[in-house]
């Protein structure tokens, strides 16, 4: 102790002890135990003398890990523990002293003192206990890690399956979307309010709109005035019935033209039973209706032809009688020139009427085609006479015949019908505006490629009827 720098608390019992034993040369005085321990930790001294328990607790509290508690004990403080009683209570004091003497005599004093006033040193943990708890903790950790890995694997698998399902769903949606958008048939869907929520490209092509101009618009905005009112009554009936078949509407294109549409529809409902949207298939039947009108007109013309044939046959018999009696009258009136002249005019008119009836009969006659050499010029003139009597006076007919002696190999009845159809169509095209019909009959030479299609390389007859928007020039076999 003499050669060591000793740190003690000033005026403490330890300080007095060192002075009494002549050990005061290398003393370093501190005011408190914490100060003494800090100064020792900082290297200002070699040793600190302080109560063991106080020093241990203070070092731990201050976190001083570079100092060590020595096992050396210096009996400085002694064990000055005792009992105190009220002054004058000699009997109680005597009993306590007697008990303390017995405890000291039996050796229990030191045991009791160490138990209640001794220093509590940390007790080491056995290795087996450490290994046991380490094994338990490790097992629990491994089990938890296994569960985490298993859960992570299952999550990854589920995510992979979900992504695969989503990709399949997207592919399916894309495929059906393309099928819907590019279908040749027009499709549309309306919501409960009658507004367009979906249309495909065929729908847009029919009406000439873009999708941005259509979606969100009310259906009646694309209908003609009459069908707008009709839609207001039919749409609620459609939603209630759930379906409709071949219902016709007249829709208005973007350019103002009207289009006849036939609609097939179904209604889809939500879980509550309310209308979700409609699914409709639209067909443009404008051309169909036009063909139906043409067919009806053709049927009318056929009926008229049959009727005209019947009338012409009866009228031909009447004309035969008239012409016969008129010839007898001509023989009887040769001596009366003026009257005879009148009868000759009747004969000429009757012959014209007979020729007209013959043309009607030829027009109405339905026989197998018989190809014979024939002159086309007389037949063309007959057709012109017949047409001129049936068309408005605002239409003029001009013939231009440069090959009057042309002979063709054809069916006279068929050629007659062709000429009648051409001139009749030309007249129909000019009926509102008036104009002229030009009929040309020319001789032309055929080259080898044209002749190889069934026409000889000799002269042929060519005719064309022009007037309004009709047909291009037509050619007939010789």
Confidence of residue 362 (pLDDT cuts 50, 70, 90): low
337 or 472, which is more confident: 337
Model confidence pLDDT, tens digit, residues 21-37: 888 788 888 989 889 88
Which position has the token pair 């992570």? 152
Residues 6+ apart with CB under 8 A from 467: 395, 426, 427, 429, 430, 435, 436, 437, 438
State how beta strands 435-444 and 395-401 pair: parallel
Quick one: tokens of 98? 């007697």
Q: Which residues 6+ apart lie within 8 Å of 87 measured at CB?
A: none
| pLDDT tens digits, one per residue of 146-169 | 999 999 898 988 898 888 888 888
The pairing of beta strand 186-190 with beta strand 474-475: unpaired
Is residue 459 very low, low, confident or very high in pLDDT (cuts 50, 70, 90)?
very low
Q: Identify which of 384, 331, 326 has the alpha carbon closest to the alpha carbon of residue 355.
A: 384
Rounded distance, CA 92 to CA 143, Å?
A: 66
> Is 80 exceeded by the pLDDT of residue 477?
no
399-452 pLDDT, tens per residue? Answer: 888 888 888 888 776 787 788 888 888 888 888 888 899 988 888 776 655 555
Sequence-distant (6+) residues with CB within 8 A of 56 are 69, 119
Residue 113 zone, left/alpha/beta (φ > 0; ψ -120 to 50; rest): alpha
Nearest to 282 by CA among 240, 326, 222, 232: 222
DSSP reduced 3-state for 231: helix
Interacting residues of 206 by C-beta distance below 8 A, sequence separation 6+:
186, 251, 253, 259, 261, 282, 284
């Amino acid at each position: 102790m003499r050669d060591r720098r000793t740190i003690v608390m000033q005026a403490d019992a330890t300080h007095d002890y060192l002075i009494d034993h002549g050990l005061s040369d290398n003393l370093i005085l501190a005011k408190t135990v914490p100060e003494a321990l800090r100064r020792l930790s900082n290297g200002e001294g070699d040793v600190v003398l302080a109560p063991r328990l106080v020093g241990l607790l203070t070092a731990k509290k201050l976190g001083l890990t570079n100092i060590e508690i020595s096992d050396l004990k210096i009996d400085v403080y002694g064990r000055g523990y005792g009992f105190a009683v009220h002054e004058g209570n000699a009997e109680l004091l005597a009993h306590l002293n007697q008990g303390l003497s017995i405890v000291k005599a039996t050796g229990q004093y030191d045991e009791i003192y160490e138990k209640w006033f001794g220093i509590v040193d940390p007790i080491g943990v056995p290795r087996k206990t450490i290994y046991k708890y380490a094994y338990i903790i490790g097992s629990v950790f491994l089990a938890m890690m296994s569960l985490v890995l298993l859960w992570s694997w299952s999550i990854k698998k589920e995510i992979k399956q979900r992504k695969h399902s989503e990709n399949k769903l997207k592919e399916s949606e894309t495929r059906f979307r393309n099928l819907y958008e590019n279908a040749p048939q027009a499709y549309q869907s309306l919501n409960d309010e009658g507004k367009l929520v979906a249309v495909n490209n065929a729908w847009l092509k029919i009406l000439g709109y873009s999708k941005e101009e259509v979606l969100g618009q009310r259906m009646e905005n694309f209908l003609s005035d009459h069908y707008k009112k009709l839609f207001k009554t039919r749409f609620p009936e459609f939603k209630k019935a759930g379906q409709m078949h071949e219902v016709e509407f007249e829709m208005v294109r973007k350019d103002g033209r009207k289009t006849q549409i036939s609609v097939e529809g179904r209604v889809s409902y939500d879980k509550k039973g309310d209308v979700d949207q409609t699914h409709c298939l639209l067909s443009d039947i404008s051309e169909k209706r036009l063909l139906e009108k043409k067919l009806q007109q053709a049927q009318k013309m056929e009926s008229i032809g049959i009727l005209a044939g019947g009338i012409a046959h009866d009228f031909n018999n009447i004309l035969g009688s008239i012409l016969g009696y008129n010839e007898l009258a001509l023989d009887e009136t040769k001596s009366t020139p003026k009257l005879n002249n009148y009868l000759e005019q009747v004969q000429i008119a009757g012959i014209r009427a007979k020729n007209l009836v013959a043309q009607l009969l030829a027009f109405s006659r339905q026989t197998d085609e018989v190809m014979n050499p024939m002159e086309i010029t007389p037949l063309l003139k007959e057709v012109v006479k017949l047409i001129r009597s049936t068309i408005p006076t605002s239409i003029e007919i001009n013939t231009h015949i440069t090959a009057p002696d042309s002979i063709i190999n054809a069916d006279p009845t068929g050629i007659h019908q062709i000429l009648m159809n051409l001139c009749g169509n030309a007249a129909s095209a000019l009926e509102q505006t008036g104009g002229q019909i030009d009929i040309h009959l020319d001789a032309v030479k055929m080259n080898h490629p044209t002749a190889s299609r069934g026409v000889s390389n000799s002269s042929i007859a060519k005719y064309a009827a022009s007037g309004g928007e009709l047909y291009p020039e037509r050619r007939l076999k010789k």
